[in-house]
């Protein structure tokens, strides 16, 4: 039989209100009717949550309770401190929460491109080989990133390192350069070319004898380090020769007697000063690789431009 319930409500600053009435069966009575046995204390204990494992009693949401639950699930914890319980939870979850990372993919840059598009796990990083995670570019929430290259992409391969969120390397990838990029100019190769005025070969490292003819106006060979001294001797109309990597030595001075129009020759500052002093330039100046200095023949020194 349900008991009569009387509820007293007191709100601050207001008189006491008394609500009387008949409630239905108590929760304890309903519990007994469902076939359970025991005292009211047994009923209250039955209301505690369970951890989902048959035979394991429910525990309060405390570190002590979580500690006992983990031990009951055969997950070891050294003690009931928060740090140990958290470590136990992580150990227990294990492979359940571990997400496999996506292997890195990329678009091979076109010739001369100065960046590369990559695709991988969000918040991972990519960097050129040897630069480390600190210098890396983070992959965005969309799984994409754009990484700048040190120089235009041509014949040389590049390698990319792939880092996880802890900065540890999880993969290294090679992007192959273009094998068809020109790296050598042979003897007389352009000597009889009358249709081209401006020659630029960013990957050429070697230039043969009498390589260019008198149609040339500008010649740019950023990586050339081996150049025959007669390579430009027929270039009567050339106005600029850009070879910033080339180091001129004595005995290999260019034959410039026919270069009437040459106004700028850019080469490496490490060149022999005696060799530079022998260069016959009627109008032009010799500049160092970044064009911040020019060579003074009289003093045989580099002077601020």
Residues 95-134 pLDDT 10s: 676 778 999 999 999 988 999 999 999 999 999 999 999 9
Tokens, residue 300: 């045989």
Q: Are residues 119 and 168 in the same domain?
A: yes
- Number of domains comprising the chain: 3
By residue range, what is the domain housing residue 54?
A: 24-96
**Structure letter (DSSP) for residue 274:** H
Which of 96, 123, 150 is the C-terminal boundary of a domain? 96
Residues 153-195 pLDDT 10s: 988 899 999 999 999 999 999 999 988 888 999 999 999 999 9
Q: What is the mean pLDDT of the chain?
A: 84
Name the band, by pLDDT with cuts 50, 70 and 90, for residue 83.
Answer: confident
Kindly give the residue spans of alpha helices, DSSP state H, lying in 241-290.
273-277
Q: Are residues 266 and 217 in the same domain?
A: yes
Q: Are residues 125 and 57 in the same domain?
A: no
Determine how many CB atoms are found less than 10 A away from the CB of residue 288.
Answer: 18
3-state helix, strand, coil split of the chain in percent (to 5) is 15, 25, 60
C-alpha 24/C-alpha 8 separation (Å) is: 19
Q: Are residues 211 and 286 in the same domain?
A: yes
pTM tops 0.85, yes or no: no
Residue 8 lies in a domain: no
Q: Are residues 219 and 288 in the same domain?
A: yes
C-alpha 282/C-alpha 257 separation (Å) is: 9
Residues 16-26 pLDDT 10s: 444 444 556 66
Which of 175, 198, 220 is the C-terminal boundary of a domain? 175
Name the band, by pLDDT with cuts 50, 70 and 90, for residue 3.
Answer: very low
The SS3 call for residue 257 is coil
Q: Which residues contact 96 (CB under 8 A, 6 or more apart)?
A: none
Which of 96, 130, 151 is the C-terminal boundary of a domain? 96
Q: How many helices (H) and strands (E) does the chain have?
A: 5, 19
Q: Are residues 171 and 188 in the same domain?
A: no
């Amino acid at each position: 039989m349900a008991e009569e319930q009387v509820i007293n409500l007191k709100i601050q600053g207001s008189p006491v209100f008394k609500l009387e009435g008949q409630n239905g069966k108590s929760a304890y009575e309903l519990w007994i009717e469902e076939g359970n046995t025991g005292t009211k204390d047994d009923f209250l204990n039955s209301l505690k949550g369970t951890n989902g494992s048959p035979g394991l009693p429910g525990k309060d949401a405390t570190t002590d309770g979580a500690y006992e639950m983990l031990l009951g699930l055969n997950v070891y914890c050294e003690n009931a401190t928060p740090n140990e319980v958290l470590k136990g939870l992580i150990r227990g979850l294990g492979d359940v929460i571990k997400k496999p990372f996506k292997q890195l993919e990329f678009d091979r840059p076109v010739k001369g491109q100065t960046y590369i598009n990559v695709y991988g796990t969000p918040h991972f990083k990519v960097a050129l080989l040897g630069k480390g995670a600190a210098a890396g570019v983070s992959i965005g929430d969309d799984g994409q990133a754009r990484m700048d290259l040190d120089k235009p992409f041509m014949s040389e391969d590049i390698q990319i390192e792939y880092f996880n969120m802890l900065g540890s390397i999880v993969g290294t990838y090679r992007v192959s350069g273009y094998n068809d990029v020109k790296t050598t100019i042979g003897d007389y190769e352009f000597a009889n070319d009358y249709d081209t005025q401006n020659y630029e070969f960013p990957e050429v490292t070697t230039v043969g004898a009498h390589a260019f003819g008198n149609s040339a106006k500008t010649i740019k060979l950023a990586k050339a380090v081996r150049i025959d001294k007669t390579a430009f001797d027929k270039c009567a109309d050339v106005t600029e020769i850009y070879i910033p990597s080339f180091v001129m030595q004595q005995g290999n001075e260019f034959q410039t007697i026919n270069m009437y129009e040459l106004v700028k020759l850019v080469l490496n500052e490490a060149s022999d000063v005696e060799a530079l002093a022998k260069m016959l330039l009627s109008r032009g100046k010799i500049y160092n690789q970044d064009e911040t200095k020019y060579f003074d023949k009289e003093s045989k020194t580099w002077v601020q431009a």
